[in-house]
Structure 1
Amino acid sequence: MDDNSKTIHVEVAYALPDKQRIVALELPEGTTVRAAALQSGLDKQFVELDLSAVDLGVFGKGVSKPEEQVLKNGDRVEIYRPLIVDPKEVRKQRAAKVKARKAAE
């Protein structure tokens, strides 16, 4: 059996508006999404991160069970920040501004 069948190469990414990090990891086959996030060490660089509880995704798609989903070679795990503002509320506010502007014209 060759070495490539025993390990996978993945990236774990986290971004703030002013600071981003991508960590490349070599992990054993069978590693889960959550385990990769925990292995990344990004919680040492971003103290607000609780890698045992944050929402995670792979290539922009949220993972509902990161403790169970196994990664494939080349996957990119993404660590999501909690939403500060409800996106629906932002859209409502934006629409209200546009409506007010049109009414003023």
Structure 2
Amino acid sequence: MVERVITVEVVYAGADRHHLRRVDVAEGCTALEAIEASGIADAMPAGVMQGDRLGIFSKRVPSDHVVEQGDRIEIYRPLVLDPMEARRKRAR
């Protein structure tokens, strides 16, 4: 049986630049497998890639989420400052 191939995008927006890679993966592939296949982790700073900070079209998903044709897998950066704390600082 022939394995179907789908195309997805993997995106990481760093503080100074963003990375976008299109990758062809096997149907039934998970988000984490697609990220590994894209090689984008090599372009990211160490320690940024964590499976709990992923999304597809701005909706958070677990790393074992099965991707579909045309999905845009987003790797989110860790927050530098808690949003509640930032609001408090601005209010002072």
Pair 1:60-2:61 in alignment: no
1:15 to 2, 13, 16: 13
Greater Cα radius of gyration, structure 1 or 2: 1
- Identity of matched residues, %: 38
What is the CA–CA distance in structure 1 between the aligned matches of 2:50 and 2:16, rounded to whole Å?
24
Question: Which structure exhibits the higher relative contact order, with contacts defined as CA atoms closer than 8 Å and separated by 6 or more residues?
Answer: 2
TM-score (norm 1): 0.76
2:85 aligned partner: 89
- Aligned runs of 1:1-105 on 2, under 5 Å? 6-49=4-47, 51=49, 53=51, 55-63=53-61, 65-67=62-64, 69-96=65-92
- Classify the secondary structure of the residue corresponding to 1:85: coil
Contact kept, 8 Å, 1:9 with 1:24, in 2: the verdict is yes
Relative to the length of structure 2, the TM-score reads: 0.86
Q: Which runs of 4+ in 1 moved over 6 A?
A: none
Extract unaligned runs of 5+ from structure 1: 97-105
Q: How far apart are residue 47 of structure 1 and its match?
A: 3.6
Secondary structure of 2:33's counterpart equals: helix
